[in-house]
């Protein structure tokens, strides 16, 4: 992959900046693209919107914002605190968040389709919840999805997260491990992977791959990514790639 010095950002067009690479690249040279979900692939932070049903959105959103900015170092504990505040929210209220509030970010479907057409596998790896990630996986035809499982009893959230076979909570370290394991599973090098995210818990996976992309991201994430998309849709990433 052609490179330029990491401290020499190149502005391709307004609100699209790259560093450490020299476009045009070839999309077919990559084998995997990994997306964060909340505020990256989709327009909302699901935990905040579920909290709205419990009348606790402001409280939960403040914790989410601090975690995404990297001001809270223990992501697992921050998520446990937020999920505890969701106790008593009904499954129907969670469903309403999916139906009424969740939207794909602009260009999401187009980017996924372009990547699949170029032969890439697509991974959704999230610190959010399976209720949303599994539906997005099926809706977009994604190859893999990993996120956290909310415990439900009697049709209501208990305020707890259910451990899964791979671990308890999908935090930054688990996102990185998931990307690396997926690379191994499909037989590619991490340098042949792309990772897109917006928050501090995405930095570990973004640092493990060949092409890291910050989408409307927090300042710390934007500064460390090879590509920063500040306006427009996710499909603006395709501006980096020439015709195969």
Beta bridge partners of 118: none
Residue 4: predicted pLDDT? 40
- This prediction's pTM: 0.94
What CA–CA distance (Å, rounded) separates 171 from 114? Answer: 28
What CA–CA distance (Å, rounded) separates 153 from 65? Answer: 29
Share of the chain above pLDDT 90, in %: 91
What does the pLDDT average to over 77-94? 97
Residue 7: predicted pLDDT? 53
What CA–CA distance (Å, rounded) separates 105 from 232? Answer: 9
The single residue of 36, 48, 171, 198 carrying the catalytic annotation is: 36
Contact between 230 and 25 under an 8 Å Cβ cutoff? The reply is no
Active site residue 74: no
pLDDT tens by residue, 14-33: 689 999 998 999 999 999 99
What CA–CA distance (Å, rounded) separates 126 from 35? Answer: 8
Q: Catalogue all structural domains in the chain, each as residue range(s) with its CATH number.
A: 10-44+104-240 (3.40.50.1000)
Active site residue 198: no
Average pLDDT, the chain: 94
Neighbouring C-beta atoms of residue 2, cutoff 10 Å: 9
What does the pLDDT average to over 213-230? 97
What does the pLDDT average to over 84-104? 97
pLDDT tens by residue, 37-83: 999 999 999 999 999 999 999 999 999 999 999 999 899 999 999 99
For 239, half-sphere exposure in the C-beta direction (CA atoms, 13 angstrom radius) is 19
| pLDDT bucket at 5, cuts 50 / 70 / 90 | very low
What does the pLDDT average to over 170-192? 98
Nearest of 124, 196, 206, 133 to residue 172 by alpha carbon? 206
The single residue of 15, 38, 52, 171 carrying the catalytic annotation is: 38
What does the pLDDT average to over 138-162? 98
What CA–CA distance (Å, rounded) separates 122 from 64? Answer: 26
What CA–CA distance (Å, rounded) separates 147 from 75? Answer: 14
């Amino acid at each position: 992959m052609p490179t330029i010095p990491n401290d020499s950002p190149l502005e391709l067009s307004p609100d699209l900046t790259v560093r450490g690479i020299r476009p045009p690249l070839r999309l077919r040279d990559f084998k995997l693209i990994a997306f964060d979900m909340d505020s990256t692939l989709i327009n909302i932070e699901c935990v905040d919107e579920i909290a709205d049903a419990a009348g606790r959105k402001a409280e939960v959103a403040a914790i989410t914002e601090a975690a995404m900015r990297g001001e809270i170092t223990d992501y697992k504990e921050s998520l446990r605190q937020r999920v505890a505040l969701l106790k008593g929210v009904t499954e129907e209220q969670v469903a309403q968040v999916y139906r009424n509030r969740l939207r794909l970010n602009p260009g999401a479907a187009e980017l996924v389709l372009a990547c699949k057409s170029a032969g890439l596998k697509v991974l959704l790896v999230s610190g959010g919840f399976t209720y949303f990630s599994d539906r997005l996986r099926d809706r977009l035809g994604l190859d893999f999805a990993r996120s956290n499982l909310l415990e439900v009893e009697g049709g209501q959230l208990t305020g707890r997260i259910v451990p899964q076979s791979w671990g308890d909570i999908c935090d930054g370290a688990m996102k990185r491990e998931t990307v690396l394991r997926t690379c191994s599973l499909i037989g590619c090098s991490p340098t042949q992977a792309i990772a897109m995210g917006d928050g501090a818990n995405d930095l570990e996976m973004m640092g493990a791959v060949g092409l890291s992309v910050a989408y409307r991201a927090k300042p710390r994430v934007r500064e460390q990514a090879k590509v920063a998309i500040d306006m427009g849709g996710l499909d603006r990433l395709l501006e980096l790639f020439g015709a195969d």
